[in-house]
Structure 1
Amino acid sequence: MKLLFVASEAVPLVKTGGLADVAGSLPKALQARGAEVRIMIPKYESIPQSALERMETIATFTVGIGWRQQYCGLQKAEIDGIIYYFIDNEFYFKRGDGLYGYGDDAERFVFFSLAVAEAMSYMDYRPELLHCHDWQTGLIPFLLKTRYRHDPACRDLATVFTIHNLKYQGVFGKELLMDLLGAGEELFGQDGIEFYGAGSCMKGALLCADKLTTVSPTYAQEIQTDAYGERLDGLLRSRSADLVGIVNGIDTASFDPMADPALEFSYRNALTRKRKNKLSLQRELGLPEAGSTPLIGVVSRLVDQKGFDLVEAILERLVEEDMQLVVLGSGHPHYEYVFQSATERWPDKVKVWFGFNDALARRIYAGSDMYLMPSLFEPCGLSQLIALRYRSVPIVRETGGLKDTVLAYNEYTGEGNGFSFTHYNADDLLYTVRRALACYQDDPTWEKIVANGGRSDYSWDQSARTYMSLYADLLSKRKENITWPVIS
């Protein structure tokens, strides 16, 4: 089984979010199960120098984008046991201020999509299946079924497309996309990428990929509804037979409290050693050192999606409880102001660190007793999995992957690895936090909840097994000469 992952980012080379974790970590798990997997990403300026020095050029060619012919280099390097391919064009990707958010992002990722298709003719590797991720690669399945459907290097490729977050679809003006793709109105219409007067890159994949996946079973159901479907729910319902939700995993070798160099005290299940990390974190952040005081951790983007309007609504009542709150993240200026003000009003209760600091994030997972994640929606979520790995008990809203991975504690059966609430309501959140704080005061109950969380498998192994089955089924149908629909 020969697979090529195509994504706009992948650990350990470049990362802005969970997409990079999936694109970089899942291939290793698939490889461990017998697949041959390689990864293709843009060659960004921010890729570490050590990786840049290993790259060798396989081919150079031009890519037609609109009326322009743009240089493209195809480079290759082995990183951590995985072979990576890089699409090189300094005009589009040699930028030092992040991966996205530029005024020409449409052109950058149309170029990337076209370059991936063109690169198939120059590769020293012949994949059977392309696994594409998020809107930046959404045009690739569409192009393979239209422009490249007769190309010998592309026509037999199977495609899988993963939706990491349906909210971000790569929607751009029709005239711009027609110019970049050198196409006319045929690009749009019922069987095209038309989206309410504009064009959606992701829609191209939703129409044309052979199989669609998303990052949790519950999210796969949610996005087929009007509430979560982002105006694509009708199309997703029409493809429900080809849509499957598969929960992400985490790199359990990297996220291991027994071997994490960021922690002062290693531990696995011993809460006494975990609480030594809490004392260390309290000391580091200037909070009163108290092992018996429950500490709630947050590592997140500070945006509406993550439920911070609910947190803001209950903050004054929350700090009346015997607890401490530690927040690491950045995002909307309003929420940064809310937490900065909170640290000034309640310096013995609330601490915030703006930005991202990987080592501090790990110390928060290890030092917190509870992990707060009351998201409005959450396709999968990795933070609650990392929290469980570090024996921090999640408090979540029942949505997407949070619903699939966090089971509310049941005092009658003893089951459950966290606390959850259903309705997006501040009072329900406060009630749930108070319930968690009450359970924390009863040592046997708390030890039971933590132990329940410790029995779960957070690795990529289960996810990889499901993906392998999906790939095998798709490729076997190809070999049986099943004809897939071609968009004319």
Structure 2
Amino acid sequence: MESLQLTPIHHHSFVFVRHSHLQLGSHLPSSLLTRASRNANLRLTRSFSGEVGPPASHDENNPFPFKDEQPQEQERGLLLARETDDFGSLVGFRLIPGSGTTTEEQPEAKVGEELEEKAEAKVGEELEEKAEAKVSYNITFVTAEAAPYSKTGGLGDVCGSLPIALASRGHRVMVVSPRYMHGTSEDARYSGAVDMDCNIKIYCFGAAQEVGFYHEYRKGVDWVFVDHPSFHRAGSPYGDMYGTFGDNQFRYTLLCHAACEAPLVLPLGGYTYGERCLFLVNDWHASLVPVLLAAKYRPHGVYKDARSVLVIHNIAHQGVEPIVTYGNLGLPLEWRGALEWVFPNWARMHALDTGEAVNFLKGAIVTADRIVTGYSWEITTSEGGYGLHELLKDRKSVLSGITNGIDVTEWDPSSDQYIPFKYSADDLSGKVKCKIELQKELGLPERPDCPVIGFIGRLDYQKGIELIRMGIAELMEDDVQFVMLGSGNPAYEDWMRATEATYRDKFRGWVGFNVPISHRITAGCDILLMPSTFEPCGLNQLYAMRYGTIPVVHQTGGLRDTVQNFNPFAEVKNDEGTGMVTDPELIKYVCIARATTVLAHRRATTADPDVECLASKCIALAPPNHSLFTQTLKRRSYTFLIDPPFVFFAIFDHRLIKPFQLRFLHRLRDSSSAFLRSQPPTKDDDFVAFCFQSQFDSIFGETLNFESGGTDAAPVSRSPSVESPSTAANKIGRSPSTVPLLGKPQEGMLLKKKKRVVEAVNGEVKDGVGSPENKVDVCSDEVNGGGGTRDFSLGVTAKGGCGGNDHHRQKAKHIWKKHVWVVLLLDLSVCMVLFVIWLWVCSGFKCMTY
């Protein structure tokens, strides 16, 4: 009796152990036994004995050994055929037993067959997972960040985990990133990297720049770090407490040149990667690589078979510098057009500004072989493309959208090495313990019943920090705790420190980034806040869902694609949702007008068809001598910001709080004032309808952050236990007002404080509290810079449209009558005073006797 064991003989072969004993007439041909399959496991299709025993020992010289387990009579069998795949690789044998030797199977034999089948199925599943990569490539990642060595956001996470996943599928992967040395304990991250003693000279910026390489082989990936003095400084990879580094173009130009040389000169593992490489370039920092391949190498026959893939993580950052810097990049003069970028007239700084610039990301878009991003549709729109949308539309045939994934082995609450207690979906008791430990570590009161809200990310306007700043005072009035982790804008870092000093028992701000702390915050928080104004895809919301933490996100980019809004009325339990997503349709309409002519506008997809007509009538009835005016009627708020000769007008959902409405229009005015003031003074008749529509598309896009034709505005109420984030930037030039941050606002906040409410009952107007359909909010508005209140109507009809001149005349008549009565009463009072004085002078009516 002989036992068969198949063991791996090279990287793509896999282990298959037979626990049954097979009757063979003779040893199988060695040519059959030494062939390995890359696409499926080796399998024997039938078992003949129920005896289950340990596998035979393994000898390196004989990878498929046969071992006599016990002295039994030789059984004879017949090999009918072998199974092969389409490529001729061996995938199995077909066997039948020898005549006269099969015996009736005992119950033990059935158990043995069941165990056999289960083992075979399990190994088959493992092999299917491992054998997905049928073709291997030499892949070179070029990135400014790669966790755990350097990280400021999602870019570092992706470039730190995706190479490892690709290497596990059989590809040869190299990651090229700067060797940042900050002079702190964080430099120990590079302790495993060895100097390759391979310095090269790069000719750029008018001189020969010498760079070196450090190498570390970890988890099947070659981690290569470019070493240069420009990467040795305190701060983050891109800046310090004084702002962004002024030589970032120089630093990342060196990175791109070095990344193109690394596959040619570095003997990693004994031999170089060579010219047949697939370059994955990430964001603008690495965007010069496709241009260098096309302009510098291929004309000389180098990298002719190489390909490049541009991965756009954040299109808002494009690496734009003055056009005079093109000569420093080490590129031929004829390739200037690939990187040249011309700003529109309204975006130029002065009359002599030609608007010409160098745009790294634009150069990669026109030269890369493929373009990959997490939000492929948004970047082809004027609102989300940041000026590159037309170019991306032209390259739509090579543009693909891919949702981010996460490393499920690192981010797994049941085995996470950074959290103090483990838990899973079946047993969440450990999450409460993680919450208590987080409170204890950060010095917060240890209260398991208190909601803990977390934020992890870059301190940048894109991440919605302004929204948190606006609402933190109101939020701290509730029984919650707030934890923030991140670095970035020095102003936001100082704000975090000041807020922590103000709310010692409720707020903690950790300036910087710490991997263990980020894991503990994700595990210990109840809610993870991501109020991003735009987000290519995002990772933290994926981590939160993995750890049982509720993500509260804006409906933008990948956040919309990955988080399903909670639906308490879902019929199927699994369809209830995975988080809370903001309502993008709270801003129904917005426009900019001069006198009564609309110069540019934008409407939401859910707006009524007649909203444009309604807006035109409202602008024609704009109250004179006012700078701010707002009125709520029929579940809509009509808000004016008048800055002569221009009028900024918007129609909001009535649930949107008034501070946001005013901040929104102020921000729109500030964003467009440079362009509007640059227009020469002309008569109103010279302006035609929508004459500035194309120029204002990008301004509307930045201010509104439209998604799917709508807008990303403040969230609507979702949960009775938390407050809802609103979106606005505090750019009014006055002290910020507090607004709700999460979920359902308190009574009186969402439906605004009233100074006067009028209710229409049977055609009459009287004081009182009306229904939502009839309530009208007349707010304080500034009259010539002063404050005052006015009862003024825009004449909105019951159907949502504007009333005609009849209603306006009726209102004017009503006001005129009030003024007449005031004048008559005043005249009567004056006459009475004069009469009393006359009586006193004349000593009564005595003078009438003379």
Give TM-score scaled by structure 1 length.
Answer: 0.80
Tell me if structure 2 keeps the 8 A contact 1:121–1:153.
no
- Which of the residues 311, 334, 340 maps onto 1:193? 340
1:42 paired residue number: 178
1:247 paired residue number: 403
- Which of the residues 310, 323, 335 maps onto 1:161? 310
1:15 paired residue number: 151
| Structure 1 residue 276 displacement after superposition | 1.8
Tell me if structure 2 keeps the 8 A contact 1:224–1:237.
yes
- 1:209 paired with 2:368, answer yes
1:175-224 C-alpha deviation (Å, 9 max, x unpaired): 1122332543x3333x443343110111111010000011x2xx211111
1:93-131 C-alpha deviation (Å, 9 max, x unpaired): 333444323322212222222233344442411243111
- 1:25 paired with 2:172, answer no
1:330-349 C-alpha deviation (Å, 9 max, x unpaired): 44455445555554554444
Distance 1:304 1:50 in 2: 29
- Which of the residues 312, 330, 333 maps onto 2:469? 312
Q: 1:227 to 1:77 in 2, by over 3 A?
A: same
Distance 1:344 1:277 in 2: 25
- 1:265 paired with 2:424, answer no
Q: 1:295 to 1:61 in 2, by over 3 A?
A: closer
Tell me if structure 1 keeps the 8 A contact 2:404–2:537.
yes
- Which of the residues 89, 92, 100 maps onto 2:230? 92
Higher helix share: 1
| Structure 1 residue 51 displacement after superposition | 4.3
The residue identity in structure 1 corresponding to 2:148 is P
| Structure 1 residue 138 displacement after superposition | 0.5
Q: 1:406 to 1:120 in 2, by over 3 A?
A: same
Q: 1:261 to 1:52 in 2, by over 3 A?
A: closer
Tell me if structure 2 keeps the 8 A contact 1:66–1:179.
yes
1:420 paired residue number: 581
Distance 1:36 1:352 in 2: 41
Tell me if structure 2 keeps the 8 A contact 1:310–1:429.
no
Q: 5 Å matches for 1:270-289?
A: 270-289=427-446
Tell me if structure 1 keeps the 8 A contact 2:323–2:340.
no
1:229 paired residue number: 385
Distance 1:246 1:377 in 2: 17
Tell me if structure 2 keeps the 8 A contact 1:314–1:430.
no
- 1:367 paired with 2:524, answer yes
Distance 1:347 1:63 in 2: 52
RMSD between aligned alpha carbons?
Answer: 2.7
Q: 1:58 to 1:160 in 2, by over 3 A?
A: farther
Tell me if structure 2 keeps the 8 A contact 1:188–1:194.
no
Q: 1:224 to 1:285 in 2, by over 3 A?
A: same
Find the residue that maps to 1:375 and give its secondary structure: coil
Distance 1:141 1:280 in 2: 48
1:369-414 C-alpha deviation (Å, 9 max, x unpaired): 1111111011121111111122111011111111111110111224
Q: 1:341 to 1:64 in 2, by over 3 A?
A: closer
1:401-428 C-alpha deviation (Å, 9 max, x unpaired): 1111111011122421000113397757
1:472 paired residue number: none
Considering only CA atoms, is the larger Rg found in Structure 1 or Structure 2?
Answer: 2
Tell me if structure 2 keeps the 8 A contact 1:178–1:187.
no
Q: 1:281 to 1:430 in 2, by over 3 A?
A: farther
Q: 1:244 to 1:436 in 2, by over 3 A?
A: farther
The residue identity in structure 2 corresponding to 1:133 is N
Distance 2:264 2:499 in 1: 57
1:443 paired residue number: none
Find the residue that maps to 1:131 and give its secondary structure: strand
The residue identity in structure 1 corresponding to 2:560 is K
2:412 paired residue number: 256
Tell me if structure 2 keeps the 8 A contact 1:374–1:429.
no
Higher RCO structure, 1 or 2 (CA under 8 Å, sep 6+)? 1
Q: 1:331 to 1:11 in 2, by over 3 A?
A: closer
What residue ranges of structure 2 are gaps of 5+ in the alignment?
A: 1-136, 240-244, 267-271, 344-355, 587-655, 658-712, 724-850
| Structure 1 residue 311 displacement after superposition | 2.6
The residue identity in structure 2 corresponding to 1:35 is H
Q: 5 Å matches for 1:35-74?
A: 35-45=171-181, 48-49=187-188, 51=190, 54-57=193-196, 59-74=198-213
The residue identity in structure 2 corresponding to 1:170 is G
The residue identity in structure 1 corresponding to 2:153 is G
Q: 1:224 to 1:354 in 2, by over 3 A?
A: same
Find the residue that maps to 2:327 and give its secondary structure: helix
Distance 1:288 1:98 in 2: 32
Find the residue that maps to 1:273 and give its secondary structure: helix
